[in-house]
């Protein structure tokens, strides 16, 4: 099929109905029924919920911007979204056009995102850490018509990078620079102040013509509205094209699964370029009518200050960010008693991490989250204790049922389902599945089968205790023909050396005897020491083919992370290849 804006995505089976599912999925029949009921009542456009709350609770707070101390009521939020939408239409943008951004989580950025949603534009928030070459590669995949970006800031001057992008991307017609100082505006760009100077006039004219309303009427629930690039920890980043329906269904299930309430105040401190921010946190709290507490860019101290000052009730972060907060020397001085629920996701964590989380909030939860499902697709029991959370990563939703399957068949249809409790490819189906990767029918076909089953690339099994994650299919190491999941070995080493080991990463490297040899990277906690021999000894009680052939000891913080603070296995494999070259020269690698 053809996506809005003329971009091709792989045709798949229709996702816009709830798949039949036997038994209970969230392990709670009432929650299953609540999900189905909310789906039947679903509004077709994400921005419709801003309008709903603007009518129901016009003067109640929707957004708190911690960095500026400003609060935004629902009515002002809704008016700002329509004003931005009218301005975007006035410069010639039409349904399906792409608007790229390189901005922190400013309230104005939120207005812009929701304005795009309202009138059928596709917004693409990009990572602020992208270099020129990476940024240009993203632009080439999207061909945006407009680009909103930072100029010179107190920390970084983005203008040299933007000049390179300007030269390489002539198809971008509108360059809007977020910059207060007029003399710092780049040639060829317009400052945001000038861009919006006539926005009131444009908005009032829109009220007379009904232009925004007409544009909104042309937007359907399966129309694309957001592009999120996959992080590229196991390959080149791909532009995932998300639609209103698959984002809103994630919002339903996250609200129901984790029992979020319209009285909740959620701290949002993740980058807009990630589903964790834009669809999970921001999208869900606004869908549910709660308060979004915005932090422009993650900072551990400011995060804790925001929780304390604004009495945040919910926080969701990846493990690395929690660790950064806990390591602050004055962490104990912050009053975090308002927190009632803390969510983590992105990677497996040791039991000690869960104990610390339980001390931070009385209820904690996690689940499997994917860019392709706009975020969470499994949810742990809200009353789960540490031991239960350590055993699995939750239950699926009736709106996005799980299945464990064989590999996709050569004809493009889904592989056979595995018996309950047997490991295989983790898959999902239903209307929460994304339309596909923008302009990439090949990778879309590898991800979504012809019969509408989404292959996650993860290996695991599902039983009465929920989903159990074994590892990424792309990260599986195959020494001597066996399958070894890095997470299993990482977890084993950490359990044995938890009093001294920090992060641990396991990779496979070319080996002339084993086909692949296992290499372990182990960080020492600050002030502690570990030797390679101790790591090898810790692996003495696992299968011989799972043991490392070489161990690299690192200082705390030396394992490379990708843009969302997960272990960067691509970078480690490159480093491992270089190490193998050195070991081979010394005759210390390709040994049986």
207 and 277 share one domain: yes
Is 484 in the same domain as 454?
no
pLDDT tens-place string over residues 195-209? 999 999 999 999 999
Going by pLDDT thresholds of 50, 70 and 90, the confidence category of residue 70 is: very high
Point out the least confidently predicted range of 73-87, 340-354, 473-487, 510-524: 473-487
Q: What is the pLDDT of residue 14?
A: 45
Q: How confident is the model at residue 516 (pLDDT cuts 50, 70, 90)?
A: confident
Query: pLDDT tier at 569 (50, 70, 90 boundaries)?
Result: confident
Domain end among 440, 463, 486: 463
pLDDT at 510 over 70: yes
* 308 and 230 housed in the same domain: yes
Given a cut of 90, whether residue 328 has pLDDT beyond it is yes
**Residues 237 and 211 reside in one and the same domain:** yes
> Does residue 322 lie in a domain region?
yes
Lowest mean pLDDT among 225-239, 276-290, 347-361, 490-504: 225-239
- What is the Cα–Cα distance from 252 to 40, expressed in whole angstroms? 11
Q: Is 468 among the domain residues?
A: no
Summarize the confidence of residues 128-136 as an average pLDDT: 90
What pLDDT sits at residue 18? 61
Q: Is the dihedral of CA 509, 513, 514, 520 positive or negative?
A: negative
Task: Tell me which of 463, 487, 512 is where a domain ends.
Answer: 463
Gap between the Cα atoms of 125 and 272, Å rounded = 6
Same domain, 414 and 524: no
CATH number, domain of 448, equals 3.40.50.12780
* In a shared domain, residues 537 and 398: no
* pTM of the shown model: 0.84
pLDDT, residue 269, reads 97
Domain end among 401, 431, 463: 463
pLDDT at 393 over 80: yes
Q: Examine residue 574 and state whether it is found in any structural domain, yes or no.
A: yes
Q: What is the CATH number of the domain that holds 561?
A: 3.30.300.30
User: d(Cα 200, Cα 198) in Å, to the nearest integer?
Assistant: 6
Is 25's pLDDT higher than 90?
no
- Assess if residue 592 is contained within a domain: no
Do 242 and 306 have their domain in common?
yes
Please give the pLDDT value at position 561.
Answer: 85
Total domains in the fold of the chain? 2
Average pLDDT score over residue span 155-165: 96
In a shared domain, residues 381 and 448: yes
The answer to whether residues 486 and 524 belong to one domain is yes
Secondary structure percentages of the chain, helix, strand, coil, to 5: 35, 25, 40
Answer for the pair 279, 250: CB distance below 8 angstroms, yes or no.
yes
Task: Give residue 234's pLDDT.
Answer: 45
Residue 562 lies in a domain: yes
Residue 549's pLDDT is: 94
Domain of residue 541, residue span: 478-585
Q: Is residue 306 part of a domain?
A: yes
Query: Do 304 and 451 lie in a common domain?
Result: yes
Same domain, residue pair 206 and 344: yes
Token digits for 301? 């101290």
Based on the domain organization, do 318 and 432 belong to the same domain?
A: yes
- Say what the pLDDT of residue 26 is: 66
Which secondary structure element, helix H or strand E, spans residue 445, and what is its range? Answer: helix 441-447
**Percent of the chain at pLDDT exceeding 70:** 93
Which of helix, strand or coil describes residue 199? helix
Mean pLDDT, all residues of the chain: 91
């Amino acid at each position: 099929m053809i996506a809005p804006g003329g971009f091709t995505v792989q045709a798949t089976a229709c996702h816009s109905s709830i798949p039949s599912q036997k038994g209970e999925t969230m392990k709670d029949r009432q929650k299953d029924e609540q999900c189905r009921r909310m789906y039947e009542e679903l509004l077709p456009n994400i921005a419709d919920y801003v309008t709903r709350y603007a009518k129901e609770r016009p003067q109640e707070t929707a957004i708190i911007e911690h960095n500026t101390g400003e609060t935004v009521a629902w009515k002002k939020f809704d008016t700002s979204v329509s004003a931005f939408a009218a301005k975007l239409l006035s410069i010639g943008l039409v349904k399906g056009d792409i608007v790229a951004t390189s901005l922190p989580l400013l309230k104005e950025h939120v207005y812009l995102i929701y304005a795009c949603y309202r009138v059928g534009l596709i917004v693409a928030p990009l990572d602020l850490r992208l270099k020129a070459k990476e940024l240009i590669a993203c632009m080439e995949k999207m061909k945006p018509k407009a680009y909103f970006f930072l100029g010179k800031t107190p920390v970084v001057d983005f203008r040299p990078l933007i000049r390179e992008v300007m030269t390489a991307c002539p198809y971008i017609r509108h360059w809007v620079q977020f910059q207060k100082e007029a003399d710092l505006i780049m040639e060829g760009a317009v400052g945001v102040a000038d861009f919006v100077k006539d926005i009131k006039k444009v908005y009032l004219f829109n009220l007379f013509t009904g232009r925004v309303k007409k544009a909104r009427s042309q937007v359907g629930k399966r129309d694309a509205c957001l592009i999120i690039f996959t992080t590229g920890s196991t390959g080149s980043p791909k532009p995932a094209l998300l639609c209103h329906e698959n984002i809103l269904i994630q919002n339903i299930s996250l609200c129901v699964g984790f029992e979020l309430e319209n009285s909740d105040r959620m701290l949002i401190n993740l980058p807009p370029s990630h589903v964790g921010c834009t669809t999970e946190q921001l999208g869900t709290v606004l869908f549910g009518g709660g308060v979004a507490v915005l932090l422009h860019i993650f900072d551990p101290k400011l995060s804790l200050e925001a929780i304390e000052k604004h009495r945040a009730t919910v926080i969701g972060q990846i493990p690395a960010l929690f660790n950064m907060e806990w390591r602050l020397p004055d962490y104990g001085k912050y009053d975090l008693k308002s927190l009632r629920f803390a969510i983590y996701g992105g990677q497996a964590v040791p039991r000690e991490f869960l104990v610390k989380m339980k001390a931070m909030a009385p209820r904690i939860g996690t689940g499997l989250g994917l860019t392709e499902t706009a975020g969470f697709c499994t949810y742990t029991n809200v009353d789960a204790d540490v031991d239960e959370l350590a055993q699995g990563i939750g239950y699926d939703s009736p709106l996005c049922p799980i299945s464990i399957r064989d590999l996709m068949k050569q004809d493009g249809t889904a592989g056979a389902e595995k018996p309950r409790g047997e490991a295989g490819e983790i898959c999902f189906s239903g209307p929460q599945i994304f339309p596909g990767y923008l302009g990439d029918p090949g990778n879309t076909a590898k991800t979504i089968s012809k019969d509408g089953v989404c292959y996650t690339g993860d290996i695991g099994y599902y039983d009465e205790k929920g989903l159990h994650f074994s590892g990424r299919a792309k990260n599986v190491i195959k020494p001597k023909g066996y399958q070894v999941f890095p997470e299993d070995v990482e977890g084993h080493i950490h359990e044995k050396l938890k009093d001294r080991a920090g992060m641990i990463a396991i990779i496979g490297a070319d080996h002339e005897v084993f086909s692949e040899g296992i290499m372990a990277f182990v960080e020492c906690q600050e002030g502690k020491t570990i030797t390679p021999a101790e790591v090898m000894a810790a692996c003495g009680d696992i299968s011989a083919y799972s043991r490392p052939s070489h161990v690299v000891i690192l200082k705390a913080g030396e394992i490379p992370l990708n843009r969302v603070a997960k272990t960067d296995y691509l970078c480690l494999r490159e480093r491992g290849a270089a190490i193998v070259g050195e070991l081979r020269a010394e005759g210390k690698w390709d040994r049986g």
